[in-house]
Structure 1
Amino acid sequence: MENVVKLKERKTARELLKGVKVVDADTHITEWPDLWTSRAPAAFKDRMPQRKVVDGVMRWMMGDYELAKNYGYSSIMKDGSKLPGLEFFDHPLEDVTPGAYDVHERVAYLDREGIAAQVAYTNLLGFGGGKALQVDEVLREMSIQIQNDAMAEMQAISKNRVYPMAMLPWWDVKKAVAEAVRASDMGLRGINIHANPQHHGLPDLATDYWAPLWELCEDRGLPVNFHVGFSQGADGWEVSDVWPSHTGYEKYAVSGAMLFAPNMITMLNLLVSDIFKRHPGLKFTSVESGLGWVPYMLENLQFHWDENMGGREASIFDTFRKHFYVCYWAEREGTLDAVRRVGAENVLFMTDWPHPTCLYPDPIGYHQTTLEQLDPQSAAKIFGQNAEKLYRMDLSQAPAAS
């Protein structure tokens, strides 16, 4: 009888977050077929990203470059079912949930799940715009501008429930600044850039070359987002060193588990640079990279810093807490200790909806045991307040969890 009473008294995950405006800090927008062609000048329509039949197969093309096969970037189907693993590559946009691309359906999904807002990333051009390098500069810049126009329109139609991040022409810092200004003026609240411009003949992100962009981000309060995978310039999700003897599903599992590694390297480089002395207001977000590895990385970096710098004072943890945020979703075991060591103010809840590893169909309920152990203040920060503050969200029209 005692166990029955305790079970009845147990609060649900939503009840534990009652009154909190939950923010999902990493979701994805499936590009719809006429996103670019409906907005492009007539002379550029045929070269803009669009679906075309090539060699008898429907593909996403940008000029003569194949961006992707014809799939809907969603593991959630129209009937609400969720596909396992790699099967989402076999389904075009017509098969997937309309919420992946239709803003009204997306907001309806948020209402059903008790989520106040989403931060969102597109897919086709790469999360940092790296895939756009495969075409000429005029085409890639126009494509990015049109995409940002469409994303700002989506945010407005959603009444600030969906916050897409702006993509920049990072291969030219002056153009990147100009587009960041334009995107910010349209209401977009953060930027995506390539994490490794030095791989393309440009200075790395810690150099003064990037000062105009960092100054703008400080002035406008724009977080700089590095999404695992394409923001590092990769051509796909598969990690290069995954063993060729593995099956597709095995490769997917290994690659998915290791996608955080390039973000870790980017973070390590930034933490030991002097970028934050020159730009004390700069904020970076490591998106879809998880949480558990961060405390170890920080402690390990601190050890090597102290050993190699001969006692030179520098607190890696303090620098991290002032300038970095990490998005997590799949972890439950060990989360409390990681939050304690990293700081509840630096952790963002995410679901990766509607990608294959997303928390679906019960994104908040997935973290029932975590929420039962987190103190209410930390839970409110991680599941909403941190992202709301970081991205300067207007959640006045968004409901709280209930």
Structure 2
Amino acid sequence: MRARDPEPNVSEYTLSYSTQKEPTRMADQETPETALCERYAVADVDSHIIEPADLWTSRIPTAKWGDLVPHVRFHERRQEDVWYIGDRKLYGVGAFAQAGWAEFPPSHPKRLSEALPAAIDPKERLAYNDQVGVYYQVMYPNIVGFHSHRFLNQMPRELATLCVKAYNDWVTEFCSADPKRLIPMMMLPFWDIDESVAEMKRAHAMGHKGVLFAARYDKVGLPRLIDDYWEPLLGLAQEMGLSMNFHVGFLATDEDLKGAVDQSKKMDFTRESSLVLLGNAQNIAEVVLSGVCHRYPDLKFVSVENGAGWLPFFSETMDWQWLNVGAHKDYPDRLLPSEYMKRQIYGMFWFERQSVRSVIDQLGDNLMFETDFPHATSLSPGPASESPSPRDVMELALGGLPEETIGKVLQHTATALYNLEPPVRG
């Protein structure tokens, strides 16, 4: 079953919001007639690339490492191509490529040739982005992101480091189709601080604009971020103006994944996947309350694919607890947690409506837009998706707000944070 190109989709989900009364505009503000995505070079700050089957086998000598190099085999019982490390199955090659797919999850393309071309081809991605109103797009991985624990547990550190470097090379090549618009985010071999520092310099020189990172490395036996162990890396990131990006699911451990729910059990999957979107609260609390933000005042941290509505609540929660336990007395040189949030913590949204407004009130300069393309939860209209087009979501979520605010959320906050080149409009 082949994915179809997205078509205009007026779903019940879309209608539930399109019938809401539009917020009143400022009295002295003219109402522009053009769509938001035409007025701004929209930055989609979280999307994914589906890795090709030969990403690692074409770049790493299999004569030395054998089938420990991540590779794809055909799985007879499942009748699909599947990623492996050694004999350990990871997931199907199209498991994260459900945009435009004709059936609801867990159904997905069985081969890369069945996926929406924009998921795997950079020129097709650029054309798709033009169609849905996106100019810039920040790229995150799948296998080295959601299965980072496998690289830790299933292969020697030397090989894992080679895999990280090979990924960074490949994503650079993918984004070279238009390096102004397609933005690579580097993975680091965080198990080796010296290698991480060297790879940060190398990837930055290749055009990577930020770091896929975590805040709770103590879960895998490494020191906490406040430890001097991380100073060479965090200090260099601050010096180079590179943000540290906490993506949902990154650094999940085998313990975290125990009892993972079957997607076919729709109620269970809805519950668990919704709770996952609150997972970055631990990361934000770690950098705000441990003193990392205080120690690195110019270093920016980004909560990726976790939504934004919870951020104002969490900011107020940390302030409340900080004051009520007397932490401000023990640490008189520290700011309130909410002040670190406003200074250094960034969030993003893709499906939220009403909660976006409260985020803007408190963290407006730190809010950005994402699509999560091509995942099943993304803003990708299709036969088995209730999603409106990104074009529509921008209007529904932000329409009626001051133009300065809209510009920040859709473009200017992201271009400043990731140091993106100005748009080239035809």
Q: Into which bin does the TM-score normalised by the smaller protein fall?
A: 0.7 to 0.9
**Shift of residue 23, structure 1, vs aligned partner:** 0.5
Q: Deviations over 1:102-160 (max 9, x none)?
A: 11111111122221110111101224833311211122111111010011112222232
Q: 2:414 aligns with which of 366, 383, 387?
A: 387
Matched, 1:261 2:278: yes
SS in 1 for 2:373: coil
The amino acid of 2:107's aligned partner reads E
Residues 101 and 119 of structure 1, relative CA distance in 2, 3 Å threshold:
same
- 2:242 is matched with 222
Residues 158 and 234 of structure 1, relative CA distance in 2, 3 Å threshold:
farther
Mapped to 2, the partners of 1:41 and 1:242 lie a distance apart of 34
CA contact (8 A) 1:98 1:105 kept: yes
CA RMSD across the alignment: 2.7
Matched, 1:353 2:373: yes
SS in 2 for 1:171: coil
Question: After TM superposition, which residue ranges in structure 1, 4 or more long, deviate above 6 angstroms?
Answer: 10-13, 241-244
Residues 218 and 136 of structure 1, relative CA distance in 2, 3 Å threshold:
same
Matched, 1:340 2:361: yes
The amino acid of 2:116's aligned partner reads T
- 1:149 is matched with 169
Matched, 1:107 2:126: yes
Residues 376 and 17 of structure 1, relative CA distance in 2, 3 Å threshold:
farther
SS in 1 for 2:303: strand
Matched, 1:63 2:86: yes
Q: 2:139 aligns with which of 120, 139, 162?
A: 120
Q: Deviations over 1:135-192 (max 9, x none)?
A: 1112211111101001111222223211121111111111111111111111111111
Structure 2: tracts of 5 or more residues without a match: 1-21, 23-29, 382-388
Structure 1: tracts of 5 or more residues without a match: 1-5
**Shift of residue 241, structure 1, vs aligned partner:** 7.1
The amino acid of 2:222's aligned partner reads L
Mapped to 2, the partners of 1:378 and 1:139 lie a distance apart of 46
- 1:325 is matched with 346
Q: 1:94 aligns with which of 104, 113, 116?
A: 113
Mapped to 1, the partners of 2:31 and 2:185 lie a distance apart of 35
Q: What are the equivalent positions in structure 2 for 1:123-138 lying under 5 Å apart?
A: 123-127=142-146, 129-133=148-152, 134-138=154-158
CA contact (8 A) 1:285 1:324 kept: yes
The amino acid of 1:288's aligned partner reads E
SS in 2 for 1:85: coil
SS in 2 for 1:94: helix
Q: 2:302 aligns with which of 276, 282, 285?
A: 285
Matched, 1:207 2:230: no
Residues 260 and 148 of structure 1, relative CA distance in 2, 3 Å threshold:
same
User: TM-score, length-normalised on structure 1?
Assistant: 0.87
CA contact (8 A) 2:82 2:92 kept: yes
Q: What are the equivalent positions in structure 2 for 1:23-102 lying under 5 Å apart?
A: 23-41=43-61, 43-44=63-64, 46-47=66-67, 48-53=69-74, 58-77=81-100, 81=101, 83-88=103-108, 91-102=110-121
- 1:3 is matched with none
How many equivalent residue pairs?
383
Mapped to 2, the partners of 1:180 and 1:138 lie a distance apart of 17
Mapped to 2, the partners of 1:280 and 1:256 lie a distance apart of 33
Identity of aligned residues (%): 30
The amino acid of 1:327's aligned partner reads M
SS in 2 for 1:226: strand
Matched, 1:397 2:424: yes
